[in-house]
Amino acid sequence: MSGSARYLIGLLLVCLLGATAVAEEPRQPLAPPRPLLQVPLQPPALPQRPVNVRQGSHLLLETDRPLREFDLDRGLTALCRDGRFRQKRDRFLVVRLGGFVHGAVVGGHWSLYDPEGFAVPELVYAVKGQDTARCEVYVIRHLTGGE
């Protein structure tokens, strides 16, 4: 074996042994260890939600059906996005659909701002996202004589 081959083998052994010695050095932790979180097996019981979100609001309808199951009125939605179909007093009338509370308006009611008069009298509309560019108006149902 030539001298240069022995030199390379020796250099390789020194590099390998030096790398394992460096790898075996105990390292200090960068941060303190995180405590283990213990998650309860049962979710906590949530308190009953109030029927009216704000004092002075009036609940017109409560159902388990979500808002997306009702019909979207595209014409009134465009007017709502322009600010020409809205509640005069925010959340004066409300509907709870699928656990979420939305503003509501009734066609012909004094609380509805509808200068063009496109709302059908006595028809309940749910207004989602009033005063935003994403406002949506859904047709809910007609009021009956007892309401």
Q: How far apart are CA 147 and CA 143, in angstroms?
A: 6
What are the percentages of helix, strand and coil residues in the chain, rounded to 5? 20, 25, 55
Is residue 39 included in any domain, yes or no?
no
Q: What is the pLDDT of residue 28?
A: 72
Is residue 35 included in any domain, yes or no?
no
Type of residue numbered 139: V
Per-residue pLDDT tens, the chain, 147 aa: give them: 677 778 778 777 777 666 555 555 667 767 777 777 766 667 777 776 655 567 788 888 888 899 999 999 999 999 999 999 999 988 899 999 988 889 999 999 998 999 999 999 989 999 999 888 999 999 998 766 544
Is residue 124 included in any domain, yes or no?
yes
Is residue 111 included in any domain, yes or no?
yes
Which pTM value belongs to this model?
0.62
Is residue 7 included in any domain, yes or no?
no
Number of domains, the chain: 1
**Residue 93's domain spans which residues?**
58-142
